[in-house]
């Protein structure tokens, strides 16, 4: 016999997980004590939401699952935001929260997580695929197995188990669960896709972040090349298709390009949507006169198919990569190299002395200085929409951004967890000063646990996307400008990190190259603060 907490932690180890993220508390302390007896590292985050973000980024890069732990009451409520973000990102996350002992349920207790207090099980239900309380030790195995199956099947996502303190200490028969295999669901309508593509006169591919989730990068490229279909991406689909591909028109929606809009305006007869909900951020700027004649929509989740663009729609449900493989099984391979244009970087422009640098130039300088395979995590804000429009992608799967839930600070946590899961990768966090105000203390987590992320912070002293949006709507803004702006460099240095402040493109490219070299030597994160133009209009003004 072993304690419930010992069995739980042994399963974490069995799954090939090396890091558990969270903040201690009495209700979850038995789990933490068991981590000491296994070859696992407990990563002390500075906020439970950030712990959930870090565990989610870890899951993205290790292709398994992430685990975040928080105590009862407020520890759990803080993790709710991380659950919502993981659900929007379609990533498997196991959240374990504590609860005072079951035997005391119904009594007045501090940080109560039952129906008599903050009922965490109920609170998590709308932002997870499964949420339950383990009320006896022998319930752990079936509940944990069900949670894993929910997290890793179909549309992947977060799950939550609340385990009371006395149940964690209960003696149970040990068990070992394997991570479940995800079985591909194939649509019966794949032949219709082929027929419609063969007949289409002016088709268009619209790629969302579901392509990231399914890792269908090669398949969408093969599809586009065989039928010679131009490609646009949603904001969340940024990074799924090379920017220097001859069929790439760039992004549409917020952060979209003129080329993408122009193609939409000239009678698209077939729009092939792959892995997108077609949210208001993705179809910003799409007027009724630009609607396609027909849509084929590939996705695992039917919830939003046919809801955003009211034209005849063929749903192709199931695994995106699996369905594309079926569609392409008799299609000869294409020579992708013939479709890739030579990389030509746009010359950088330095700002005039005394003027702040344009955010556009920041993103172009980043492309100059970063390796082609550097993986960018864009946090929520106008800085990432500049990236969507101006940062070119040469290797698919190297830019991640969520255009659905949009929790500020998520990119900070995602990048830290991602680097711990894949230390061999160059990981960069593109972030703004607003997100740094929210979860910037996670720089300490990155430093203390040797997660050497390069943080590039665009600082203009305001919540830029919100402030400029209010200016557009009502001619003024409220609550969008910081009375005392964040000094990012001093903030980072206070937590032990080395930091640079840059004022122009030359300084930025030099600092990025120097930082990447130092990261290899020290294995510590570095922060680069860039003071950007406060009055520049971001590419986010198309949202209604």
The CA distance from 492 to 513, in Å, is 19
User: How many Cα atoms occupy the beta-carbon half-sphere of 391 within 13 Å?
Assistant: 34
Residue with tokens 């077609």: 278
* Residue-wise pLDDT tens digits, 338-371: 999 998 888 888 888 889 999 999 999 999 999 9
Instruction: Extract the runs of DSSP E, i.e. beta strands, from 425-525.
Output: 427-432, 454-459, 498-502
- 């009055």: which residue's tokens? 535
Superfamily of domain 359-531: Thiamin diphosphate (ThDP)-binding fold, Pyr/PP domains (3.40.50.970)
pLDDT digits (tens, 9 = 90+) for 3-61: 999 999 999 999 999 999 999 999 999 999 999 988 899 999 999 999 999 999 999 99
Residue 544 has pLDDT above 60, yes or no: no
The pTM of this model reads 0.95
Name which of 167, 165, 157 is nearest 210 in CA terms.
157
Domain extents in the chain: 2-172, 190-339, 359-531
161 versus 538: the higher-pLDDT residue is: 161
Q: What per-residue confidence (pLDDT) applies to 110? A: 58
> Same CATH topology for 190-339 and 359-531?
yes
Contacts of 276 (CB under 8 A, 6+ apart): 206, 207, 208, 209, 210, 234, 236, 237, 282, 299
Spell out where 375-522 has E strands.
375-378, 399-400, 427-432, 454-459, 498-502
Q: Please enumerate in sequence order all residues whose Cβ is within 8 A of that of 186, keeping only pairs 6 or more positions apart, or say none.
A: 318, 319, 322, 323, 326
Using DSSP's 3-state secondary structure scheme, residue 49 falls into helix
The domain defined by 190-339 folds into Rossmann fold (3.40.50)
Per the CB < 8 A criterion, the answer to whether 306 and 316 are in contact is no
Average pLDDT estimate for 457-475 = 83
Burial 343-370 (b: 16+ CB within 10 A, else e): eeeeebeeeeeeebbbbbbbbbbbbbbb
Q: How many C-beta neighbours within 10 Å does residue 224 have?
A: 24
For the cut 70, the answer to whether the pLDDT of residue 543 exceeds it is no
How many residues in total does the chain contain? 544
- What pLDDT, in 10s, does the model give residues 365-397? 999 999 999 999 999 999 999 999 999 999 999
**Cα dihedral: 125, 128, 134, 138 (round 10):** 130
For residues 270 and 314, the answer to whether their CB atoms sit within 8 Å is no
Among 81-90, 106-115, 342-351, which range has the highest average pLDDT? 81-90
Q: 319 pLDDT band (50/70/90 cuts)?
A: very high
3-class DSSP state of 204: strand
Which strand (E) or helix (H) includes residue 222? helix 217-227
* Three-state DSSP state, 258: helix
Top-level class of domain 2-172: alpha beta
The C-alpha atoms of residue 518 and residue 496 are separated, in whole angstroms, by 15
For residue 473, pLDDT over 90 is answered with no
| Residue 241 near residue 399, CB atoms below 8 Å | no
Structure tokens at 536: 């520049």
pLDDT at position 281, please? 87
Radius of gyration of the chain (CA): 24
Contact 458, 409 (CB under 8 A): no
């Amino acid at each position: 016999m072993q304690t419930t907490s010992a069995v739980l932690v042994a399963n974490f180890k069995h799954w090939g997980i090396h890091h558990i993220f969270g903040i201690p508390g009495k209700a979850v302390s038995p789990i933490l004590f068991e981590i000491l007896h296994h070859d696992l590292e407990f990563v002390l985050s500075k906020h439970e939401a950030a712990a959930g973000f870090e565990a989610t980024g870890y899951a993205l890069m290790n292709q398994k699952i992430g685990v975040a732990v928080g105590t009862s009451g407020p520890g759990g409520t803080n993790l709710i935001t991380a659950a919502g973000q993981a659900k929007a990102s379609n990533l498997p996350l196991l959240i374990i929260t504590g609860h005072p002992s079951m035997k005391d349920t119904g009594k007045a207790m501090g940080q109560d997580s039952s129906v008599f207090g903050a009922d965490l099980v109920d609170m998590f239900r709308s932002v997870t695929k499964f949420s339950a309380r383990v009320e006896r030790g022998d319930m752990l195995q079936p509940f944990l197995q069900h949670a894993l199956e929910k997290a890793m099947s179909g549309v992947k996502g977060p799950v939550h188990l609340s385990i009371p303190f006395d149940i964690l200490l209960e003696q149970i028969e040990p068990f070992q669960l394997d991570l479940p295999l995800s079985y591909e669901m194939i649509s019966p309508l794949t032949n219709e896709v082929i027929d419609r593509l063969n007949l289409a006169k002016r088709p268009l591919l619209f790629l969302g972040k579901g392509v990231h989730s399914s890792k269908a990068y090669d398949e969408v490229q093969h599809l586009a090349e065989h039928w010679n279909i131009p490609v646009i991406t949603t904001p969340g689909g940024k990074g799924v298709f090379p920017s220097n591909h001859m069929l790439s028109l760039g992004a549409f929606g917020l952060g979209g390009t003129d080329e993408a809009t122009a193609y939409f305006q000239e009678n698209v007869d077939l729009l092939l949507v792959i892995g997108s909900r077609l949210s208001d951020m993705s179809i910003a700027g799409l007027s009724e006169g630009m609607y396609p004649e027909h849509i084929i929509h590939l996705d695992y989740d039917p919830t939003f198919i046919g809801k955003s663009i009211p034209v005849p729609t063929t749903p192709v449900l199931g695994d995106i990569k699996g369905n594309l493989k079926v569609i392409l099984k008799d299609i000869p391979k294409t020579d992708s190299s013939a479709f890739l244009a030579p990389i030509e970087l746009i010359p950088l422009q330095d700002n005039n002395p005394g003027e702040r640098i344009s955010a556009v130039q920041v993103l172009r300088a980043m492309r100059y200085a970063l390796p082609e395979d550097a993986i960018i995590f864009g946090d929520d804000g106008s800085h990432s929409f500049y990236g969507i429009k101006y940062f070119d992608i040469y290797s698919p799967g190297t830019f991640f951004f969520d255009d659905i839930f949009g929790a500020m600070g998520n990119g900070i946590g995602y990048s830290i967890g991602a680097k711990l899961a894949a230390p061999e990768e160059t990981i960069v966090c593109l972030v703004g000063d607003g997100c740094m105000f929210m979860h910037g203390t996670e720089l300490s987590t990155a430093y203390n646990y040797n997660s050497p992320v390069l943080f590039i912070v665009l600082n203009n002293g305001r919540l830029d996307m919100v402030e400029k949006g209010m200016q557009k709507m009502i001619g003024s803004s409220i609550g969008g400008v910081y009375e005392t702006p964040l000094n990012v460099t001093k903030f980072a240095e206070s937590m032990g990190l080395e930091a640079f402040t840059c004022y122009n493109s030359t300084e930025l490219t030099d600092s990025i190259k120097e930082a990447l070299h130092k990261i290899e030597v020290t294995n510590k994160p570095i922060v680069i603060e860039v003071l950007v133009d406060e009055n520049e209009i971001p590419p986010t003004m198309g949202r209604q």
